[in-house]
Structure 1
């Protein structure tokens, strides 16, 4: 479909940019293989339990820093007490390349100058999973968030920094797409109200079903072991 009707790059709000098919098929398959490896631990993919007792329908894992509602740590006290896997250097570099792709010489205007991500969140959406509107506020850095999509297409809702309600913009994210939000859009509410089963390409990204989303970001936290590895 993209070959017949290419999707253009789109600016949803100041600093919020969607770049369709930014990842090559080779990069997509490499990311999928890496996610499968990370899912086995040391802190495995799991459904996060929220403070109110509810459980997220999306399965998650972290690299570099562990996140639990609503704070960061190096070890997963809410899972198995293990230290999370480090953020690979190649993934940190991919995040920097994404910021450069989107902002170029204007990166400093959107908090992307000297972008040095130190954590990544991997979300897996099985059939029926979704993500409610939320802000990424636990970081002490206002640097951009880099989001990469694999597998099934989803409806991504990008809102405003003031509330979960309107105004917001809905956009479909497909396998290989890049979405970056920084600057005035860094703390905008966003979510995934729907994933479309069976819309991904196993041949293209190596994922048989479901959706993977990898978001790369800077925590702004200091730790002598914070440098990415590999």
Structure 2
């Protein structure tokens, strides 16, 4: 399926690549992040909260308390240099970039654009002492990184919607929705789908019974999504270049990552 500014291939991922991806994913130790921190506290009237799902980043890590990457103003000290892509993702990213240059208008692809950043989201249910709590959803938002965004899905299919905001206190209007299937690639960009509309994951099915072997305690993962974006290299900084107060907030997360990641262990030594 292809619309101007939107590309979808339901069979992008081969069985062999899917097997390699799942094998690599089983080696990760995703993080549970909090939205705020000691030096970036909650705004007045809000409280500290944990993100709905565990995450992992490649290329750079946009910690939630740093408020993500939001150009043109929100670019300084937002992106911490992170692990490079594993070989299976390097190959897939090259294919995604080639498709993007073939399918999207040159004016919608900024100079220097490449898919050098990836957010891995783990969708599923909290498993506590009571009834499991399904948190497999994402509220409406925009991705502010410049240029097209590529999304690769594994596991149960999800309802993905592009929506038009109707103003504060009013439900958004669904402009377009589609199922994101296992192994599917979605790429969106341009004025309409990237700049004008918001997008959200409304729900994730529970039909196949799949459970990925992800190292997250008390969490059952049934869908994994890779969202590839572009961040200019000058806005990606090594850990040692962050100011001391932000470094204080970052270190607990990075120390947790360093227990299983030689890359982050090395970053700590370089401070």
Shorter chain as denominator, the TM-score bin is 0.7 to 0.9
Instruction: Please list, as runs of the form range in 1=range in 2, the aligned pairs for 1:25-40 lying within 5 A after superposition.
Output: 25-37=15-27, 39-40=28-29
Shift of 1:102: 5.0
CA distance in 2, matches of 1:194, 1:148: 16
Q: For the structure 1 residues 27 and 145, does the alpha-carbon distance in structure 2 shift closer, same or farther, using more than 3 Å as the test?
A: same
RMSD of Structure 2 on Structure 1 (CA): 3.2
Task: Tell me the residue number matched to 2:248.
Answer: none
8 Å Cα contact 1:65/1:119 also seen in 2: yes
Gaps of 5+ in 1: 1-8, 76-83
TM-score w.r.t. length of structure 2: 0.62
CA distance in 1, matches of 2:207, 2:110: 35
CA distance in 2, matches of 1:206, 1:104: 36
Task: Tell me the residue number matched to 2:247.
Answer: none
Task: Tell me the residue number matched to 1:16.
Answer: 6
Task: Tell me the residue number matched to 2:246.
Answer: none
Task: Tell me the residue number matched to 1:219.
Answer: 231
Structure with greater helix share of residues: 2
Shift of 1:151: 0.5
Shift of 1:48: 4.3
Return the match for 2:156 from 131, 135, 152. 152
Looking at CA atoms only, which structure, 1 or 2, has the larger radius of gyration? 2
Q: Give 3-state SS (helix, strand or coil) of 2:11's partner.
A: coil
Please say if 1:199 is aligned against 2:189: no
Q: For the structure 1 residues 224 and 193, does the alpha-carbon distance in structure 2 shift closer, same or farther, using more than 3 Å as the test?
A: closer
CA distance in 2, matches of 1:106, 1:16: 8
Shift of 1:170: 1.7
Shift of 1:109: 3.7
Shift of 1:176: 0.3
Please say if 1:49 is aligned against 2:47: no
Q: For the structure 1 residues 106 and 17, does the alpha-carbon distance in structure 2 shift closer, same or farther, using more than 3 Å as the test?
A: closer
Q: Give 3-state SS (helix, strand or coil) of 2:159's partner.
A: strand
Please say if 1:60 is aligned against 2:55: yes
CA distance in 2, matches of 1:26, 1:89: 13
Shift of 1:88: 3.6
8 Å Cα contact 2:8/2:187 also seen in 1: yes
Q: For the structure 1 residues 23 and 148, does the alpha-carbon distance in structure 2 shift closer, same or farther, using more than 3 Å as the test?
A: same
